[in-house]
């Protein structure tokens, strides 16, 4: 049997450390060769299939609460001039959001891409709204904004802060029957 030398070179130390590090990461990530069964939750005597059914029900209830088949979705997409993203966003939320809500639209969320305010490039701001009933909400919005000087002025001024402005209307496929029956 051959004996190994007692001295360890730096290169072999680094190699051994790398192997141990990879093995440790594998263990931490659960990448072991053996399999173990997940421990049963304490105090829970519910059947696992019942647990899965409960999770599915909770998920479906959450989806039902956040969306509706009979709404129109509106997305305003503002591409800000370089360095103007934060100012445009703040201006929209301060001045335009209350006007739109007053016209019957419901604010859903605002997102910014990329997820950082850019100084030398354009930030893209997307504001999502919903309208509950296309006929009433569209007319309410139109009459509340068309002749409102604040609304007209804001959209005229935004042209100086934005590279482009776009608005998209959409609806679920199941609502199309109603929307196309004009």
* Residue-wise pLDDT tens digits, 138-179: 777 777 777 788 888 988 888 889 999 999 988 888 888 777
Q: How confident is the model at residue 66 (pLDDT cuts 50, 70, 90)?
A: very low
pTM of this prediction?
Answer: 0.59
Predicted pLDDT at 129: 94
Residue pair 77/170 in contact by the 8 Å Cβ criterion? no
SS3 of 148, please?
coil
* Whether residue 10 has pLDDT greater than 90: no
Sign of the Cα torsion 170, 175, 178, 181 reads positive
Encode pLDDT of 35-56 as tens digits. Answer: 445 445 555 555 554 554 444 4
175: nearest Cα among 132, 125, 113: 132
- pLDDT band at 9; cut points 50, 70, 90: very low
Both tokens of 138, joined, read 């569209």
Q: Tokens in use for 104?
A: 């019957």
Q: How far apart are CA 176 and CA 69, in angstroms?
A: 9
Nearest CA among 169, 167, 92 for reference residue 130: 169
């Amino acid at each position: 049997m051959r004996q190994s030398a007692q001295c360890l070179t730096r290169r072999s130390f680094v190699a051994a450390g790398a192997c141990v590090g990879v093995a440790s990461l594998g263990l931490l990530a659960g990448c072991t060769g053996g399999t173990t069964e997940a421990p049963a939750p304490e105090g829970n005597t519910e059947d696992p299939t019942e647990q899965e059914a409960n999770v599915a029900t909770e998920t479906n209830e959450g989806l039902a609460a956040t969306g509706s088949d009979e709404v129109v979705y509106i997305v305003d997409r503002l591409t800000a001039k370089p360095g103007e993203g934060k100012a445009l966003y703040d201006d929209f939320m301060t001045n335009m959001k209350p006007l739109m809500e007053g016209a019957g639209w419901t604010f859903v969320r605002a997102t910014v891409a990329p997820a950082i305010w850019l100084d030398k490039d354009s930030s893209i701001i997307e504001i999502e709204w919903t309208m509950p009933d296309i006929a009433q909400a569209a007319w309410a919005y139109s009459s509340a904004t068309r002749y409102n000087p604040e609304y007209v002025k804001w959209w005229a001024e935004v042209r100086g802060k934005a590279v482009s402005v776009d608005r998209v209307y959409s609806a679920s496929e199941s609502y199309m029957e109603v929307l196309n029956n004009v």
